[in-house]
Amino acid sequence: MKFAVIVFPGSNCDLDMYHAIKDELGEEVEYVWHDAKDLSEFDGILLPGGFSYGDYLRCGAMANQSNVMSEVVKAAEAGKPILGICNGFQVLTEAGLLPGALLRNKNLKFMCRTVELKVVNNATQFTTGYEKDEIIQIPIAHGEGNYYCDDETLTRLKENNQIVFKYASEGPNGSIEDIAGIVNEKGNVLGMMPHPERAVHDLIGGSDGLALFKSIVKQWRETHVSHA
């Protein structure tokens, strides 16, 4: 499986993402600059965390204007797995690939620590490596991770089982119903604030995030072998 790690000016988690795919999974991966106009050679698209374009205007707003985002939208429409982490999640909401928005943390402070996540939905292509309601340890590092959506959208997220991760205890950032990660209705676009790419080896504090990346690869291989 071949992954693209999209790099915007200000991305700072692209190295972590690249390491998780290349060194821990042993899969193909390339950095792709924000002005790229073709992602057709890639099987999965990864949008890393950081401060794209300095987080000017709104987090992810300027990144959404990059050439590559029209290609990310095409990849999503084609059913390819798209994963946006932290700033990548913000970009996905700006692009309309995921509903809702990310607001300033409730305490108005940047937060950087490991938190407990609950796997609410383990039936997505990103989470089959987990048990339902499993508690995992994943780092967060954000100032604007407070997920918000209106009541109608929240009802739809619940009805379609689109809420994938919740903070296991009271949400650290004020997110509505402690939401930490959601998928689109089709189930191939995941956005989450915590950083699984920073939890892929015990030497860096834990490996609970590795199952997410393994799940993507497993699903892709099963799909392509079955259609071969």
Give the residue numbers annotated as catalytic, written as ranges: 86, 195, 197
Strands (E), the chain: 2-7, 28-33, 44-47, 82-85, 101-103, 111-119, 135-142, 146-148, 163-167, 179-183, 189-192
- Phi and psi at 78, nearest 5°, equal -80, -5
Contact in structure between 210 and 20 (CB atoms under 8 Å): yes
Q: Distance between alpha carbon 174 and the CA centroid of its chain, in Å?
A: 19
